[in-house]
A and B are shown apart, each in its own frame.
Chain A
Amino acid sequence: MSESQVLSLAIEEICTQHHGQVSPLLPILHDVQSRCGYIADEAVQIIAARLNLTRAEVGGVVSFYTDFKTQPAAGRVIKICRAEACQANGGRQVWEAAWAAAEGTVEIEAVYCLGNCACGPSAQIDGQTLGRLDQQQIVSLVNALAKGDDL
């Protein structure tokens, strides 16, 4: 089976899992994003056909929400908080240090609040929140991700 056939089957399967659910589009897109790492044009087509929506409707939802990506990530993803509470504690420096260390090997995403404001500056990797980060720590995290190490 070709790669695109595998993808199609996976997406069909996800749609089937959500069959009968009320307003299933966001849950389906979350599953596709987590399974494939991004939501390809082919995925949009299949989902639209299955939910009896237009491609524009599905594409519009994909483009609205920052969680849904239309391209694969450059590497493993680290989300770094850029909101006020983290900034008050050196979040800007953490952000800059992360970018300097990543050099395109790790995908750095800005998030606006991880709800870890009393323990900032904060970042999140694979759903795990990390707190009280400084420049040195973020650099070693980024380096570990770039090398593919487990945290």
Chain B
Amino acid sequence: MSKEQFEVKIGLAEMLKGGVIMDVMNPEQARIAEDAGAVAVMALERIPALIRKEGGISRMSDPKMIKDIQNEVSIPVMAKVRIGHFAEAQILEALEVDFIDESEVLTPADEHNHIWKHDFKVPFVCGCRDLGEALRRIGEGAAMIRTKGEAGSGNIVEAVRHMRKVISQIKELTVMNQDLLMARAKELGAPFTLVQQVAKLGKLPVPNFAAGGIATPADASLMMQLGAGTVFVGSGIFMSEDPSARAKAIVEAVAYYDDPKKLSEISFGLKKAMEGLDIAKIPDEERLQERGW
């Protein structure tokens, strides 16, 4: 993988900034998402809230379903693979999806190894809870990072925790002397050269987005103000009472995230948001964010 090829992958992530990436389960939902101004869709058979409810093993979606969605919309189409399942990723690459999400939302296929993403021409996005996890994924070739949050919960608290953690750990690096960075890299479990790079840049070397629990325009604004390049909305749209109106509202909320007056107009009279879950009431073994390392 040449530096230029990696730059081409990051290039698409740059273009997605300030636009909403929406989970969709069929071409009809993809149509609603594109009409509402979504910047990309994530094709998956069951959105996280349903995976949580129904249980069982969650795998890559049926290629036919992905193809049908690709035929329906003109915006980028992303799809998920299980952590470590490089064969699923090879299939998605053959389908020419625009981005692959190696996602904790699906059941992990490898408990030790994530996919070696540099082997692929298609860019990858991966979830993280802290800076070490983000840099390990970038080291493996991820061209975009997102918070894990707690998918399908409708609860923003975990995404906030993860974003704040990453941002504060980046800030710490920027004020550290060179001679402390190696020890810090060891503590973070992160590749040393990436730690050096982050210390110098003051940000991740790839775009850093928010995901996991975003359900309202205000949630989107919060994540943007905390430093996210943009947001993924999983269950928040199609588990709500009026998906089309909510999708449009979140698109506008991301564009005008720092204008409270505009946000109040955008949020006005939206029908019911998805039901949320208290994180403390989700048993540890059902917390999706614990998957991957």
Q: Do chains A and B interact in one complex?
A: no
